[in-house]
């Protein structure tokens, strides 16, 4: 299990979803992982990757091509879409990346967390990334514990 967070200061939420997936897949390929389960909480992203979307915005078309090339390098992948409430770990990582992106200290004085085998991914992970490997940061403990215990959360639906 691994996690990565990077800050994106411009663009749409869809662009951020695509960038995050590409970044994660770059790490997977660098680590030569053969079996990967990918859970996304963006239905638009899922539909565009699985070719069920009727349209792909220009702003993400290059990233979509990059993602498809990366997916082709992984022998076994399972891609699924799930509600955000059921994907709390990913949501917490996105919130973390978002909060550090707003902090100017991130750009001038960041202290990234790196795995022991950082050499394997150093050529693909931007130097501004915060990355963890095997030992998650403390802000994820509650989410991971809830996942392990199978805790259910209600889906929030706008009326």
- 123-149 pLDDT, tens digit per residue, is 777 777 766 666 777 888 888 888 788
Predicted model pTM: 0.75
- 30-66 pLDDT, tens digit per residue, is 888 899 988 888 899 999 999 877 788 888 999 999 9
C-alpha pair distances (Å), 144 with each of 35, 91, 112, 136 = 21, 12, 21, 9
Location of structure tokens 């960038």: 19
Domains of the chain, first to last: 2-149 (3.30.420.10)
Instruction: Establish how many alpha carbons lie within 13 A of residue 104's alpha carbon, considering only the half-sphere containing its beta carbon.
Output: 0
């Amino acid at each position: 299990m691994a996690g990565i967070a990077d800050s994106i200061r411009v663009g749409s939420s869809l662009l951020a979803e695509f960038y995050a997936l590409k970044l994660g897949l770059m790490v997977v390929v660098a680590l030569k992982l053969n079996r990967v389960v990918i859970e996304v909480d963006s239905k638009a992203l899922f539909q565009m990757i699985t070719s069920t979307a009727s349209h792909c915005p220009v702003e993400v078309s290059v990233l979509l091509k990059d993602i498809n090339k990366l997916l082709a390098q992984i022998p076994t992948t399972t891609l699924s879409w799930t509600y955000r409430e059921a994907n709390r770990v990913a949501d917490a990582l996105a919130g973390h990346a978002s909060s550090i992106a707003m902090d100017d200290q991130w750009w001038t004085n960041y202290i990234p967390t790196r795995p022991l085998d950082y050499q394997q991914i150093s050529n693909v992970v931007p130097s501004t990334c915060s990355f963890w490997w095997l030992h998650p940061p403390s802000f994820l403990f509650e989410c991971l514990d809830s996942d392990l215990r199978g805790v259910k959360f209600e889906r929030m639906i706008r009326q």
